[in-house]
Amino acid sequence: MITETSQGRSGEPQAAAEPPRRGGSIALVLLIAGAIVAAALAFMTLGRAHAQPYIVGSLALLAMVGLFMLFAFAAGIVRFADRVADDPIMRPMAEHAFDGLAVTDARGHVVYANQAYLSLTGATSAQDVRPVERVFIGNPDVSEAVFRLLKAAREAKRHSEEVRVAGADGAAGRWLRMRVRPLGPSKNDAKFTVWSLADITRDRERQEDVFQELQHAIEYLDHAPAGFFSVNAAGDLVYVNATLADWLGHDLAEIGSGGLKLGDIMSGDGAALLTSLIAAPGEVKTEVFDVDLRMRNGRTMPARLFHKLAFGADGIAGPSRTLVISRARDERSDPQRSAEVRFMRFFDHTPMAIATVDKTGAVVRGNARFAKLAQSLSSSGAVARSILAAVNERERSRLSDAIKLASEGQGDIAPVEALLDSQRERWGQFFVTAIEEDERDAEAAIVYLLETTERRALENQINQAQKMDTVGQLAGGIAHDFNNVLSAIMMANDFLLNAHKPTDPSFQDIMQIKQNATRAATLVRQLLAFSRRQTLRPQVLHLGDALSDLTMLLRRLIGEKVKLDLVHGRDLWPVKVDVSQFEQVIVNLAVNARDAMPDGGRLTVRTANVTAQEAERLSYKGMPPADYVRIDVSDTGTGIPPDILDKIFEPFFSTKEVGKGTGLGLSTVYGIVKQTGGFVYVDSEPGKGTTFRILLPRHNVEKEAENAALQEPAAATATSNGESKAESKPRAPDLTGQGTILLVEDEEGLRSLNARGLRSRGYTVIEAGNGIEALEALEEQNGVIDLVVSDVVMPEMDGPTLLKTMRERNPKLKIIFVSGYAEDAFEKSLPENQQFAFLAKPFTLSQLVAAVKETMAEA
């Protein structure tokens, strides 16, 4: 192997200034090898005894040479020749590079440095070359950067730093770029590290000059007599100059942090004007707008905007550049300009969308409200080029015909109300007027647009409410008349039952009449519940029995295509609800389920008890842990979309077609369940069905009995001479009594039956056909009347008026109102703190006598 020694001190690197090294020779190697072989042959000819001293001496000599070479190699006096370093291309490139290059080994010693490195580090010769950390030792401005470079070198990573090195004796400093990278086939196998130094002082000076010029430009722009701002595509203000910030009363730091948007400084719909520009891809467009800017204190400032916008190759607008000039000065100096500004202010701030169009409907110019409305109708947020694009496709012809008439100079064009082209149902009314012929340019007509979506929705709600109120009045009136008829039937039926024994042949027919009359009364009660004119009275109810009674009605409602399943839970707890209310809830849910299954399906009504622990695990929103009875009404229908699931209980909300739903069914269900103290929840999956879960609070019968016992005085069951207590067997109530009753009823047949029934129980009855006759009867009796039983709705004088007049003469007079309407229907017309009893029609004879006796007993 060929070796060579360095020209300087031991361990110093090869530098660019050293003389060229002599290359090794293969002939010399062969010559030395031949001499050793010849010496070995010569020793063999001398004989073993004579050759041994010479062999030992030769070996010792060779060992001394080898040991000396090892020490010389370790000390760096002798080195193996580097063929790469002697490469005729690579070595000159490294020697004459502009950047200083140095190679260090694993111990940090410099093994190579080019001439540029010597110059940058101040080395006078190859013997004075030092590694980077030793060159800049003690320099506080560079030490941190060198530390980071050394760390990267130890970790075999690339790293770069730019540092400023101060000059000696106050001389101007210079900027250096320091880089380090591992040298080797891979980072893990790198045994050397390459350091590079580059003087970048001139580059830095040029950058500082450009920065200074930019600072001067920004300073000039900030203090220019006009405002300037820039907006990105998202509507964020990315730059506002100091002049505009001062005009608007904003802090520049607040704007620079991204805290303001375009809508924050634009009054009204002005921001829509700036974002409504459209152009061809690659086009640069500038528009002039007269708008009002919004100041920080809420006041407005009139300004003219020169809005410049560049569109990319894909047609998407980039950041805008907008020049703002306060137009207040122009208004003061130029009256004509002032009139123009006033008109533009009116044009842009009117609450009506206005646009001028050509003969084809293309928009030539639009105000801010039109730009905002057009953007809301577009899925991409861009303003369409044609006003016809704002209208649903099937209704565009009507608007197009109106624009054509206007372009021909026609006047008195009828407004066009059309469905707007939007993802949701929106309506608008278009007013089209012609432009005078001498003023026409590209514009052919002016189109005014008013969105009427909310108005139409409100009209529909009012119409629906009026229709429901009308239907309710009709149903209530019919139910009231039916109640009068049913009262007479039921009263007469009671007389027949009293006159016939169960063994009579006609007794079963009389019972059949009573059962059908009761069913008719139930239907009337449902009509009254629909019209909300029924007195609602909760009672303890077993849901299993109530649902069983509804089975036939439900089957008729849902039709033959839908199968009804009733699954009752075992030992259901009682609940306290109004029967008619509960029936209305189930009927409404069943009708909705039927409509969700047009092709048939299965309706399942399931009941079960829910303990407090189970209720807590359910964790339904707003429902406290307690004992409940749950009713699940499930269908296999179309389901409810998730986006409207939160709206289904809102009044007048309906997904059905117009005329096929009132939007009150589920809101009524929600209200009834809430009034009962329960909760209702819904689970639905589109395409699989819907389940409504109703949870009613458990009614504790024992607790109610304890409370009643505490409130009522204990009945003494005194015994004498060892007599036993009274028997626990209940006795039939005593419905007989005494007293004078004034019976006021305009239905003669019903009045006579009621009077007959009361007289049969021992009461004295005075009959009156209306309120006036009742007052006359009261005068004849000198006010000595124990009780008044009066109808509510009567000709000439109704029940509440009669009560007021009688109470003026006898404040302690007792009165019972009977009516087919709800108690609340007339209670509001009574004076405050008036006491009365109420009996809803239809009623039986026993119910009437019981109410009379109870009211008279209170006296």
DSSP symbols for 750-765: HHHHHHHHHHHTT-EE
The pLDDT confidence band at residue 601, using thresholds 50, 70 and 90, is very high
pLDDT in tens, 266-302: 876 777 777 766 666 777 878 777 778 888 888 888 8
Residue 244 contacts residue 347 (beta carbons within 8 Å):
no
Annotate 85-147 with DSSP letters as a single string.
Answer: TT-TTHHHHHHT-SSEEEEE-TTS-EEEE-HHHHHHHT-SSGGG---HHHHTTT-HHHHHHHH
Residue 799 contacts residue 792 (beta carbons within 8 Å):
yes
Hey, what long-range contacts does 732-737 have (CB within 8 A, 24 or more apart)?
733/850, 735/761, 735/846, 735/849, 735/850, 735/853, 736/761, 736/762, 737/761, 737/762, 737/763, 737/849, 737/852, 737/853, 737/856
Q: Tell me the percentage of the chain whose pLDDT exceeds 70.
A: 75
Residue 663 contacts residue 652 (beta carbons within 8 Å):
yes
CA 365 to chain centre: 35
Pairing status of strand 174-183 against strand 159-165 = antiparallel
The pLDDT confidence band at residue 692, using thresholds 50, 70 and 90, is very high
- Residue ranges and CATH numbers for the domains of the chain are 89-200 (3.30.450.20), 224-327+337-342 (3.30.450.20), 458-528 (1.10.287.130), 533-709 (3.30.565.10), 740-857 (3.40.50.2300)
> For residue 181, with 0-12 CB atoms within 10 Å meaning exposed, 13-18 middle and 19 or more buried, which class applies?
middle
Which DSSP symbol is given to 731?
A: P
E strands within 420-483? Answer: 427-434, 445-451
* Mean pLDDT of the 316-322 span: 79
**Residues facing 284 on adjacent strands:** 310
pLDDT in tens, 765-812: 999 988 888 898 888 888 788 899 998 888 888 888 888 888 888 888
CA distance 132 to 150: 9
Better pLDDT: 670 or 722: 670
Neighbour order of strands in the sheet with 159-165: 110-113, 100-104, 192-199, 174-183, 159-165
φ and ψ at 743, to 5 degrees? -100, 115
Quick one: pLDDT at residue 717? Answer: 34
Q: Mapping DSSP to helix (H, G, I), strand (E, B) and coil, where does residue 684 land?
A: strand
Quick one: pLDDT at residue 563? Answer: 92
- Which amino acid type is present at position 630? R
Q: Tell me the percentage of the chain whose pLDDT exceeds 90.
A: 7
Better pLDDT: 589 or 726: 589
Residue 488 contacts residue 537 (beta carbons within 8 Å):
no
CA distance 629 to 571: 11
Quick one: pLDDT at residue 338? Answer: 65
Q: Omega before 505 cis (within 30°)?
A: no
Residue 507 contacts residue 797 (beta carbons within 8 Å):
no
E strands within 724-811? Answer: 740-744, 764-768, 787-791
The pLDDT confidence band at residue 627, using thresholds 50, 70 and 90, is very high
Residue 102 contacts residue 134 (beta carbons within 8 Å):
no
- List Cβ neighbours of 444 (8 Å cut-off, separation of 6 or more): 357, 358, 359, 403, 406, 407, 434, 435
Residue 14 has pLDDT above 90, yes or no: no
CA distance 143 to 163: 10
Torsion sign, CA atoms 11, 15, 21, 26 = positive
Q: Mapping DSSP to helix (H, G, I), strand (E, B) and coil, where does residue 45 land?
A: helix
Please give the torsion angle defined by the CA atoms of residues 687, 688, 689 and 690, in that order, rounded to the nearest 10 degrees.
-100
Expressed in percent and rounded to 5, the helix, strand and coil fractions of the chain are: 45, 20, 35
pLDDT in tens, 481-502: 777 778 778 878 888 887 788 8
Residue 384 contacts residue 378 (beta carbons within 8 Å):
yes
Quick one: pLDDT at residue 20? Answer: 45
Residue 571 has pLDDT above 80, yes or no: yes
Which DSSP symbol is given to 644?
A: G
Integer CA distances (angstroms), 135 to 131, 372, 485, in order:
6, 67, 119
pTM of the predicted protein model = 0.41
Give me the chain's average pLDDT, please: 77
Q: Mapping DSSP to helix (H, G, I), strand (E, B) and coil, where does residue 169 land?
A: helix
**Residues facing 816 on adjacent strands:** 789, 837
